[in-house]
Amino acid sequence: MTIKGRAYIAGAYEHPTRKAPDKSVAQIHAEAAIGALADAGLSKADVDGYFCAGDAPGMGPLSMVDYLNLRVKHVDATDIGGSSYLLHVSHAAQAIAAGKCTVALITLAGRPRSEGSSGTQPRAGNLTQPDTQWEYPYGVAVVNAYAMCAMRHMYEYGTTSEQLAWIKVAASHHAQHNPHAMLRDVVTVADVLASPMVADPLHRLDCCVVSDGGGALLVVAPEIARSLPRPLVKLIGAGEATKGQLGGDVDLTFSGARWSGPIAFAEAGVTPADINYASIYDSFTITVLMQLEDLGFCAKGQGGRFVADGNLIAGVGKLPFNTDGGGLCNNHPANRGGITKVIEAVRQLRGEAHPAVQVANCGLALAHGTGGLLGTRHGSATLIMERE
Amino acid sequence: MAEVSRIIPAPTPDAESAAFWAAASEGRFTLRRCRACDRAHWYPRAICPFCMSADTHWVAASGRGVIYSYSVMRRAPIPYAIAYVTLAEGPTMLTNLVDCDFDRLAIGQSVALVFVPSDGGPPVPMFRPVV
């Protein structure tokens, strides 16, 4: 069974808040759901499937389904960190194709900014995790786990800090047009290199923002999508993978995108050269560079050359990416950027991105997420969507 | 044992790892090796991650290796160097680099094991560059 053409993304909503000390996490989930339903032209009673991940308060989907008082016949709370929501789109399409539901709601929300979260603080994780005792004593934070990937990539392929900086530069060129973006100032390569070193070789401006916020998506059956007044965004390919330390055969130079990407491209029947717009998970600049290579937008080791000189800037380069400003400049709600990746891809396919960054005749878009820690273990999820 | 000023959180041994941490408390660094596929792995498991055999056992390890990658965490109250070290026996393990000038670390550098005290638990294996 394929999900190609079996489901559409009919609603997409990014909560405009970036700091919400006066709201609860459940409330932000609900506000995002309201936004997505209004965007699609659907109502609460239409929802018969619900998806959430580890940012949702309570056990799996139970508390949020109860808070929203939904009557659903399909739930899924698979958590692969920030990439969960791309996987949820795929799983929702599978459920729709199998007749298990017809309108699937996916929500994300969190308040890491109000709660003082930072990617520089080691996290203990769950002590019952088999890996925690082998990692927590060593101060695995978020940023240094990605930094080791960058360090090895530089060693093997000659990638430079200047090349990584171009990724932030491109994101900032897009964020200047987004009134909700946290960082709207256009920055230069020199600005990135002059920002304080956080974990070698990643500077402060190589890192994403920490923001409160949320988002929601509605994945619906084809007949429902066609009954709605919105442009049709069809799901045509999806892939997922997880990657860890491989029993000790550690290889930090590639991500799970090497495995999830080809699955999605094969299902969609398209190639990287066909993609008009790409949302690429940007927790850090190195995340983007490695995913671009692993997804096949350039050869392994050529990512640095590929991203340099504005190649990711809309209207300038060959592959416009993260035209909302991405996690690097706009928003990284709940420390999980997956849902905003799908939302901006939907905007592009509908022709509803900011005019300054809208890709002309955007017919084919890719969204990809990396969740967890690139340098220890992470989830990867790839989606390919088409304007119909 | 090496001295570092950062407080090292104590590892929390479980039924599968108790023997490793007990050996570490005696200053012995061990690896888990599989008799079925004749490979050592990391982190240590009862079940071999390569072939799923349960025929695994503890072996003494050399404590020698090379730096596979590293990063100096500058934005911490006390900067520290996280690293992956590829052991002479094959597996690559997450660790810290200590007793060194952080600005002179390099991938490919040879390192040797040191046990570093943890905060109320067994000592943890770390590495320092050797010339």
Q: Summarize pLDDT for A23-72 with one digit per residue, the tens.
A: 999 999 999 999 999 999 999 999 999 999 999 999 999 999 999 999 99
Q: Summarize pLDDT for A279-294 with one digit per residue, the tens.
A: 999 999 999 999 999 9
From A191, A210, A79, A207, select the one nearest A145 (Cα to Cα). Answer: A207
Q: CA triplet A13, A14, A20: central angle to 5 degrees?
A: 135
pTM of the model: 0.97
Contact between B79 and A143 under an 8 Å Cβ cutoff? The reply is: no
CA A159/CA A136 separation, integer angstroms: 29
Q: Summarize pLDDT for B87-96 with one digit per residue, the tens.
A: 999 999 999 9
- Out of A133, A196, A252, the one facing B69 most closely (by C-beta) is A252
Q: Which residue of B has its CA nearest to A147?
A: B71
- Out of A130, A155, A197, the one facing B107 most closely (by C-beta) is A155
E-strand spans in A225-264?
233-243
A to B CB pairs, distance under 8 Å: 121
Q: Summarize pLDDT for A193-243 with one digit per residue, the tens.
A: 999 999 999 999 999 999 999 999 999 999 999 999 999 999 999 999 999
Torsion sign over Cα A261, A265, A266, A267:
positive
Above 60 in pLDDT, residue A278? yes
3-state secondary structure of B131: coil
The answer to whether B83 contacts A131, with C-beta atoms less than 8 Å apart, is no
- Give me A263's structure tokens: 């699955």
CA A385/CA A237 separation, integer angstroms: 7
Contact between A317 and A200 under an 8 Å Cβ cutoff? The reply is: no
CA A51/CA A84 separation, integer angstroms: 10
A151 to chain B: which residues are within 8 Å by CB?
A: 69-71, 107
From A85, A114, A341, A321, select the one nearest A218 (Cα to Cα). Answer: A85
Q: In which region does residue B67 sit, left (phi positive, over 0), alpha (psi from -120 to 50) or beta (all else)?
A: beta
Mean pLDDT by 10 residues, chain B (131 residues): 75 96 98 98 98 98 98 95 98 97 97 97 98 77
Min CA distance, B49 vs chain A (Å)?
5
From A176, A174, A167, A213, select the one nearest A19 (Cα to Cα). Answer: A213
B27's CB contacts (< 8 A; 6+ apart) are: B115, B123
From A38, A64, A39, select the one nearest A49 (Cα to Cα). Answer: A64
Task: Tell me what ipTM this predicted complex has.
Answer: 0.96
CA B59/CA B39 separation, integer angstroms: 11
Q: What is the CA radius of gyration of chain B?
A: 15
A144 to chain B: which residues are within 8 Å by CB?
A: 71, 73, 82
Work out the mean pLDDT of chain A and round it to a whole number.
97
Above 70 in pLDDT, residue A97? yes
Q: Summarize pLDDT for A292-325 with one digit per residue, the tens.
A: 999 999 999 999 999 999 999 999 999 999 999 9
Q: Summarize pLDDT for A342-380 with one digit per residue, the tens.
A: 999 999 999 999 999 999 999 999 999 999 999 999 999
CA A340/CA A81 separation, integer angstroms: 14
Cis (ω within 30 of 0) for the bond into A201?
yes
In order of A206, A296, A365, B131, the CA distances from A289 in angstroms are: 12, 11, 18, 34
- Out of B82, B91, B118, the one facing A248 most closely (by C-beta) is B91
CA B69/CA B106 separation, integer angstroms: 8
The answer to whether B93 contacts A134, with C-beta atoms less than 8 Å apart, is yes
